[in-house]
Amino acid sequence: MQYVIVGIGGQGILFSSKVLGKIALSRGESVMGSEVHGMAQRGGSVISHFKIGQYKSPLVKAGEADALLAFDQNEAVRNLHFLRNGGSLIVNVHDAAALGNEHLKAYIREHDIRVYPLEGYELLKKHMNGNFLFLNVLIVGAMCGAGVGNVSYEEVRNAVRELSPAKFADANMKVLELGYEALKGV
Amino acid sequence: MILEMEVAKTVSTRAILLGNEAIARGVVEAGCLVAAAYPGTPSSEILPAIAGYADELGAKTVVEWGVNEKVAFEMAVSAAFTGVRSCAVMKQVGLNVAADPFMSAAHFDLRSGMLLICADDPGPHSSQTEQDSRFFAMFAKIPCFDPCDAVEAKAMVFDAFDLSEKHNIITMLRPSVRVDHCRQDVELGDIIARDQGFRFEKDPLRWTCLPAGVKINHPKLNAKNDAIREEFETDYARYNYEVKASGQAKLGVITSGVQFSVVMDILKSWKRNDIDVLKIGTPYPLPVRMVTDFIDRHENVLILEETYPVMEMQLPDRTKVQGRWNKIVPGAGELLPEVVEGLLVKVLGGQETVTADANLKAALEELRITPRKPMLCPGCPHRASFFSIRQSLPAAINPSDIGCYTLGINQKGVDAVIDMGASVTISSGFFMAQKASGMDAKPIVATIGDSTFFHMGIPGLVSAVYNRHALVLAILDNGITAMTGGQANPAVGDKLRKGDKGAVVDIEGVCRGCGVSFVKTVKAYDVKAGKDVIKEAWEHAKANQTPAVVIFRHPCMLLRQKQDTIPVRVNHDACVGCKFCINFFNCPGLVFDEAKKKAVIDERFCVSCGVCRNVCPHGAIVSTEGE
């Protein structure tokens, strides 16, 4: 399994690969990934690569990712070329109209990409008092709900619980379920 | 019983670690007792992780931030004069700062192991150069290890210490950014106990870099290099080996470091069985016989290494090798998997097929999507400081420095940057050039961060006082070394290991001690006060031909300290769509709505710091309090 996770510096995208890593480790699988630290973390485009299985290089080659988790829809479009034919995109949408772009739809069709949109900001405004720092947990839940990433809800729940600082544990479990339910069976 | 004990001792666990954490774990397990560093991406996580593992495993390791890399290196290398294992950690440009002690100490016959961990940044992602530290190892004539992943990086730490002790020489571990910031499952072990104690013996010729000593030490250093090269040829098969193709090889690829990992994954995805790969983990001194033998056995050879041709230039004959000398391999930039794939296709005689998809390209253009540039965080005090500085003296030239505030380029507040501490000395250079050319003096207002001021800002400031240079130095004190992830520094006083207490060094006091006659402090968020004090500082500097210092103070947003929230909105009746706030304040929370031609608050990013109320010349940004 090869994942590419993209977003904007400050959105906490590294959390997703931590969750995936924890699950892989408990299954006894090997992991390899790459993160962005430093200047790019300051509000710029960020990308994280994560591979589970027998890989050596930390980077996913364009056209080989099974799943793209996008915390920002513009970053999703910029990094869509990482997905293989038949890959899955989980995307946090803030401007649904833009995703209707004809060229974009043609690319998605041509490459048989399954798209799972999630209105993350709206959900967090409605249920979490607008605290957008929960976006990372929400997206992990949504991925699992959509049946992407080859992980069970139970595994994700356990991993998120273990990775959560005590004072956010309850809130994180609530947000995880929010994301899971939003894309469950879509 | 003995068997049981041995099992108990070697019980280990696996954990997913950042490459830098794996290196740190290796440093503690190898029994390193003195570790010093200055933070810099991509090396910054190593030293805090050394402190963390030392706490966890109960090691006695002294772990400290030096105020700069030269300081850190000198502390570490002199500890290795005395019988304790030591390491210094820095990024590639940090070694430029530490080059002086590094070049000298390379000649010394150390008493105990000394490891220099120098992290490179091909790309670059977060640096002012993409220089290759392996060349620095060659320059100083010390051996260099180049790991291909986190697991190998950890293993190499042990060997680098052992090799250092065997030949009494500094050794270098050169992880590149993809190793530093990879995440991989790694075996954890225990500390290997060894006999270490302070045993400094007076021997001036050994520990003093006088010319007389160099005459003895330089030939000795050459002999060490010859011996180590021979060991790399024969004794390091775990790092230097060939991965043979199952079929008849059409191509041989020589790799160093992470390039080995990249090539192996491409071959796996291609399912090709006609490419041999030679992996070199010790690029200096290069095991020349091993590499030459590989070249001799292949008709077609490609050499991949980042970022400079270090192995390539050590080859007695490289005319048969496709590399940088014949411009096959790009001479700049990171060798990403897509680039390497293109190179492999090219040298195999195929056509490169990697082209941007037309639909995707059109979508990006129509939706106006470009890579998001790094910018100062919402609520960042530097944004307010830059705004005050620019609005106070619009004619001023603004040199700046290395840190988050280099991003003040987005506030039009950064005109020139060279390296750590150069904000002050660039200002001096401009002052001297203006004076020499008899021009009317333009104001000079430079910016520098708290940590960078201590790193290398002080000598320039002393020089400016001594030479009577009229300039204003604005020290942006956010109480943290922010860009590299939030490390403490002398202005903060905190230290790394649990229970360690440092002392706070007072910035105002340091400036006065350097002879600065104008030192004033303002709250960074107070734009009006900031504008006034910058004007006053320049008038003082000009009238007295001397530097003036203004300290802008407010904690970094990453510290998440509680502060007043002042929610704001843009009054669209008052907003004229002039984009002044976008061009000069440039906050992620304040964007321009092209359809309405008005500024709007982007609630995804706004943290309600309220500073932008003082930015709009038309008073259109207002508090929502009471609405």
Q: B41–A80: do the CB atoms touch at under 8 Å? A: no
Angstrom distance (rounded) from CA B73 to CA B36: 7
Q: What is the mean pLDDT of each run of 10 residues along chain A (186 residues)?
A: 93 90 92 84 88 95 96 96 97 94 96 97 94 94 94 95 92 96 89
Q: Give tens-digit pLDDT for A117-141.
A: 999 999 999 999 989 999 999 999 9
Q: Give tens-digit pLDDT for A91-123.
A: 999 999 999 999 999 999 999 999 999 999 999
Whether B277 is in a domain gets the answer yes
pLDDT of residue B353: 64
Chain A residues whose CB is inside 8 A of the B269 CB are 61, 64
Angstrom distance (rounded) from CA B439 to CA B436: 8
Count how many domains chain B has.
4
Q: For strand B114-119 and strand B62-65, is the pairing parallel, antiparallel, or unpaired?
A: unpaired
Whether B355 is in a domain gets the answer no
Residues B56 and B193 in one domain: yes
Residues B154 and B220 in one domain: yes
Q: A130–B373: do the CB atoms touch at under 8 Å? A: no
Minimum-distance CB partner of A61 among B181, B338, B366: B338
Residues B119 and B149 in one domain: yes
Q: Which CATH number fits domain A2-183: 3.90.550.10, 3.40.30.10, 3.40.920.10, 3.20.20.210?
A: 3.40.920.10
Of B179, B273, B180, B163, the C-alpha closest to B225 is B163
Domain end (from B327, B347, B367): B347
Q: A104–B603: do the CB atoms touch at under 8 Å? A: no
Q: What is the mean pLDDT of each run of 10 residues along chain B (627 residues)?
A: 35 84 98 97 97 95 97 98 97 98 97 97 94 98 98 98 98 98 95 88 91 93 98 98 95 98 95 95 98 97 98 96 96 96 93 76 94 92 97 98 95 97 98 92 95 97 98 95 87 90 95 98 97 98 97 92 93 96 94 94 93 95 90
A58 CA to centre of own chain? 17
Q: What is the ipTM of this complex?
A: 0.93
pLDDT of residue B354: 57
Minimal CA separation from B158 to chain A, in Å: 22
Q: Where in the sequence is the domain holding B337, given as residue range(s)? A: 241-347
Residues B219 and B267 in one domain: no
Whether B376 is in a domain gets the answer no
Residues B476 and B615 in one domain: no
Angstrom distance (rounded) from CA B22 to CA B29: 10
Residues B333 and B431 in one domain: no
How many other β-carbons are positioned within 10 Å of the β-carbon of residue B459? 12
List the domain boundaries for chain A. Answer: 2-183
Residues B315 and B421 in one domain: no
Residues B230 and B250 in one domain: no
Chain A residues whose CB is inside 8 A of the B185 CB are 21, 24-25, 30-31
Whether B215 is in a domain gets the answer yes
Residue A25 parent element (H or E): helix A14-27
Residues B552 and B404 in one domain: yes
Residues B85 and B146 in one domain: yes
Residues B229 and B260 in one domain: no
Residues B29 and B135 in one domain: yes
B60 CA to centre of own chain? 27
Whether B358 is in a domain gets the answer no
